[in-house]
Amino acid sequence: MTTLLSSYRLGELTLPNRMVMAPMTRVRATADGQATPSMATYYAQRATAGLLVTEGVQPSLIGQSNPGTPGLHTDGQTASWRQVTEAVHTNGGRIFAQLMHGGRVSHPDTTGLPPVGPSAVPAVGEVFTPTGPQPAPTPRALETHEVPEHAESYAQAARRAVEAGFDGVELHGASGYLISQFLSSNANVRTDGYGGSVAGRIRFAVEAAAATVDAVGAARTGIRLSPGGTFWGVQETEVLELYTALLTELARLELAYVHFQATAGDPTLIALRRAWPGAFIVNPVMPMGPKQTDRVAADHWLGLGADLISFGRAFLANPDLVERLRTGAPIAPIDESTLYAGGDAGYLTYPTHQHAAS
């Protein structure tokens, strides 16, 4: 019988359990996008997860969405991540870097560059900048000949990730960022081969994944998706057709996994599970919604065919979440005021259950 604490073979890795720490932005990097000793401690504290996926890491300067986030596009950034991967591996863990190109969800005050997107359509809402939230600017629409270099940026960052000691990478194809923008039917109003039809809208995602597989291998490449999600104002038409077509193309690449957010109802996600022949990760609650993933939600999706379950906020306040779920210990709440506050408070200061009880 499959349980949350059963082992699982993922690509070339043997995971001791089926719990994945979901990628979560914490804005604790240096001003030039380098990982820090505190980040190494943070991930190492949570290394009992079957798999850790880092916060979003920008694959290029123009791909940076928020200030304070780390990158993988300079030699200094690459070197800085070695302390993280070494700490996780020393603690017996496995870690993928999530590669996140923000696309239109960025600002010149953050990068010094005008943001780009599939079309000149601004995101809905305010974006974070060094001086505080500002209205999302209108991005510059990428010319057709420019699109491949942005797909290739994921592959270049993936090479750096492997050089830095990561076990693999996850392409951030969800939550309204660049890959998601290309999948969208309102952020992407292109009339060339990267827009319009379902085949056109999935093309960028497929090319980014294919370039990454060529760079580091299929066993080291996953992708996160949010079917029907409306983050930053994206909308998608023909959701089931769109994602079934995308999974069909990604299956040819034999990716290590797909990682779905519960932005669509169970019937849609179950249909996508049936359409995907490989490892299927589900984050079973609405991102940033009122409910956190718990054992009940995890067991529900394991019963529906998921192979692995990702936990977000529960892992922030519970570095020993695996042990807490194994023993039935209480799950500590997060301090939301420290999520993006910088510093070690609310980052490294959550105790294990044993310490909390002493």
Q: What is the pLDDT of residue 357?
A: 45
Question: Is residue 154 among the annotated active site residues?
Answer: no
Give me the mean pLDDT over the 138-154 stretch. 98
Residue 289 has pLDDT above 60, yes or no: yes
The rounded distance, in Å, linking the Cα atoms of 355 and 338 is 21
Q: What is the pLDDT of residue 291?
A: 77
Residue 348 has pLDDT above 80, yes or no: yes
Give me the mean pLDDT over the 150-179 stretch. 98
Q: What is the pLDDT of residue 2?
A: 82
**Best CA proximity match to 293, nearest among 65, 41, 26, 49:** 49
The SS3 of residue 308 is strand
Other CB atoms within a 10 A radius of the CB of residue 249 amount to 16
Give me the mean pLDDT over the 268-273 stretch. 97
The rounded distance, in Å, linking the Cα atoms of 221 and 218 is 5
Residue 253, both tokens? 């690449």
Beta strands in 234-273, from DSSP E residues, in sequence order: 257-261
Residue 74, both tokens? 């300079």
The SS3 of residue 14 is strand
Domains, in order of start, for the chain: 8-357 (3.20.20.70)
Give me the mean pLDDT over the 193-215 stretch. 98
List of residues 6+ apart from 46 with CB closer than 8 A: 21, 52, 93, 315, 319, 321
Q: What is the pTM of this model?
A: 0.96
In the chain, % of residues over pLDDT 90: 94
pLDDT band for position 56 (cuts 50, 70, 90): very high
Catalytic annotation, pick one of 42, 177, 243, 350: 177
In the chain, % of residues over pLDDT 70: 98
Q: What is the pLDDT of residue 285?
A: 82
Residue 290 has pLDDT above 90, yes or no: no
Residue 130's Cβ-side half-sphere holds a number of Cα atoms within 13 Å equal to: 10
Q: What is the pLDDT of residue 40?
A: 98
The rounded distance, in Å, linking the Cα atoms of 334 and 196 is 42
Residue 356 has pLDDT above 70, yes or no: no
- Burial (0-12, 13-18, 19+ Cβ within 10 Å), 144: exposed
